[in-house]
């Protein structure tokens, strides 16, 4: 029974809950970035380069089965079990990563600036004036020293 109680205490600690929220939001954010790259950036980049979709850039490493009569697309060849060197998919994933890393870098940079500004404001603020009680006690102390 002691181990269950200890696990419950661990699981409901603030750090674990914060981590869980971060992972869930991170997964959702990753899907947003993936959609942005797949649906917005890659079609534009493909259009500029001359193709429409990077995911269809691949090199066939083996022969299709003898009874294969489908189109020579990445999806059809993959389903047929043909080994492919899918560099287009890798380019898409790499662009996803670079965009996500850049966005996270900007967020961390912004947070660090906000922390630095808050720390500067705290350090630069003049100390609060002493209360009337403190002033009275100082006066008593100084008169006793004489």
For the chain, the farthest-separated pair of C-alpha atoms sits apart, in whole angstroms, at 110
CB burial of 82-106 (b: ≥16 within 10 Å; e: otherwise) equals beeebebeebbeebbeeebeeeeee
- Rounded to whole angstroms, the Cα distance separating 98 from 60 reads 27
Contacts of 55 (CB under 8 A, 6+ apart): 42, 74, 86, 88, 89, 92
How would you class 37 by CB atoms within 10 Å of its CB: exposed for 0-12, middle for 13-18, buried for 19 or more? buried
Per residue of the chain (146 residues), what is the pLDDT tens digit? 688 888 777 777 767 777 888 888 888 888 888 888 778 887 787 778 776 567 778 899 988 888 888 888 888 888 888 999 989 888 888 887 888 788 888 888 988 898 888 777 666 667 788 899 989 889 999 899 87
DSSP 70: S
The model's pTM: 0.53
């Amino acid at each position: 029974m002691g181990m269950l109680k200890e696990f419950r205490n661990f699981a409901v600690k603030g750090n674990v809950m914060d981590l869980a929220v971060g992972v869930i939001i991170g997964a959702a954010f990753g899907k947003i970035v993936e959609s942005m790259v797949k649906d917005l950036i890659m079609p534009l980049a493909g259009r500029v380069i001359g193709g429409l979709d990077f995911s269809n850039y691949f090199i066939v490493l083996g022969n299709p089965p003898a009874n294969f009569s489908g189109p020579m697309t990445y999806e059809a060849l993959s389903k047929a079990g043909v080994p492919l060197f899918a560099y287009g998919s890798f380019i898409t994933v790499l662009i996803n990563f670079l965009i996500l890393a850049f966005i996270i870098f900007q967020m961390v940079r912004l947070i660090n600036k906000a922390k630095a500004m808050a720390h500067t404001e705290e350090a630069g603020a003049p100390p609060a004036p002493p209360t009337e009680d403190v002033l009275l006690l100082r006066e008593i102390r100084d008169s006793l020293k004489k």
